Amino acid sequence: MDVLFSGIPWGPALILLPLSGGVACFLLPASARTLGLLTVALVGLAVMGLGWQLLGQGVYEHAVGGWDAPLGIELAADGLSLLMLAMTALVGFGVSLYATGYFEPAQSSRFWPLWLLLLCALNALFLSGDLFNLYITLELVGLAAVALTALQGGRDALIGAMRYLLATLLGSLLYLLGVALLYHGFGTVDLALLSERVTPSPVAWAVLGLICAGLLLKTALFPLHFWLPPAHASAPAPVSAVLSALVLKAAFYILLRLWLAIFADISEGVTALFGLLGTGAILWGSLQALRQTRLKLLVAYSTVAQIGYLFLAYPLASGMGVTAWSAMAYLAFSHALAKAAMFLAAGNMIYFGGHDRIADLDRVVQRLPLTAGAFALAGVSIIGLPPSGGFNGKWLLLQAALTQGRWDLVGVILLGGLLAAAYIFRVMGNTFTQAPGSHDPVSVPARMQWAAMLMAAGAVLVGFLASPFLELIGIGDPFHVGGVRP
């Protein structure tokens, strides 16, 4: 069995499977649901195969066509890549299962090719080993996500998608300018080679500013989050789940990779800025979530707040890197599962009642117990209550902040948890009450309810897997705990 798993090129398979599945769904729209779900399941198996290979052989490397860097395209994966691929596979399967019951046939035939193209681009991005391939895959991610955002049709959907398109193109332009300067100054776009060549210089600082600005815009970090709530408000529920759980993480992943490989030694003072922006995101996003009267907008602003926690790891990593980076990884993974569950649960409530007005949810607990339970379980992780993955991540962040005497960040983490509890409990309180106005509820397919519950349960269960989780992340030493460069 070990020989079988170790001999398969899992990296190319993770890219070619969703690409082939997307083409098949486009050519055979009548069978798109079956083909799409089967493709996503096979992608999950391929991620497991890659994980088995990494456990046995260490860092995965594959030169496409036999051409090594810097002339060829090289795919690479370590523990951090595996984490992102596993997160994508889990969320992708839950969203795909949900989509089989959510979309009408006409929308379904458009959804599946776009979704599988997005999945292909995400997998390729997490396996890319040079800056230009990261740019290409990031562009594919953005364009597919914009098309999915406009899938619902109508004025609001098109406005939200257009705003998202302009934001993502601006971010891509800034990123590409940074890559061009980097290539001009150091003669390569390969991350491993750049980690050896980049030194503090005006060119390096200009690159740092351009790339960080572009990726922060794509990550929707406060105050560059202006495009995110409108996109979520008008997008179908499965698309909102993918945007929040996966698409934002793709830009964050690139920023983290570049930070670990080339920016950490030339970025004095930038960590403090990231910490400040993360603090602003937590407080502003949470307060805005409390003010919302629509459920999807509340969950969207919650995403703005939760992204802020990921950037608190940057100032804390300078003094206690292993704990802060582990916290970041835990939070990214648990947030993806929890936020996907929240958007899917919100989609169930909209499907059931025809609206997402929080004050008129109308006894959801009695009528949709699985959906209400999924939203509550996801809330446990978002708030950071034990034993969820969100608790593990925030506890590690608190531990790093306390060890370094960063009482300001301790206060922000604790206050953010209290504000999250306030808006989660506000929603849950309305799920028990009867709405003032009557409406005719629509039956929600069981698979849509179970998809949300499985995502929420995963966000809680990951809290019980601290040791194997951290062991998998440590493959290849992506955070340089042992001083190893990628």
Structure tokens at 244: 């929040």
- Residue 2: the pLDDT is 54
Nearest Cα neighbor of 284 from 336, 228, 323, 233 is 228
CB 349 within 8 A of CB 342: no
Residue 63, SS3 per DSSP = strand
CB 360 within 8 A of CB 313: no
- Residue 295: the pLDDT is 87
* DSSP H or E segment with residue 288: helix 270-291
Q: What is the DSSP string of 113-158?
A: HHHHHHHHHHHHHHHB-BHHHHHHHHHHHHHHHHHHHGGG-SHHHH
- Residue 287: the pLDDT is 93
- pLDDT per residue rounded down to tens, the chain (486 residues): 455 556 677 778 899 999 999 999 999 988 889 999 999 999 999 999 888 888 888 777 766 655 555 555 778 888 888 999 999 999 999 999 999 888 888 888 889 999 999 999 999 999 987 788 888 899 999 999 999 988 887 788 888 888 888 988 999 899 999 888 888 887 777 777 777 787 778 888 888 889 889 999 999 898 888 888 888 778 888 999 999 899 999 999 999 888 888 887 777 778 888 889 999 999 999 999 999 888 889 999 999 999 999 999 888 887 555 678 888 888 999 999 999 999 999 888 888 877 777 877 777 778 888 988 999 999 999 998 888 888 988 998 888 888 888 888 899 999 999 999 999 999 888 877 776 666 666 788 889 999 999 999 999 998 888 888 888 888 877 776 544 333
Task: Report whether the peptide linkage leading into residue 200 is cis, meaning its omega lies within 30 degrees of zero.
Answer: no
Helix axes 105-127, 79-102, angle to 10 degrees: 180
Give the integer Cα–Cα distance in Å for 315 and 196: 23
- Residue 71: the pLDDT is 55
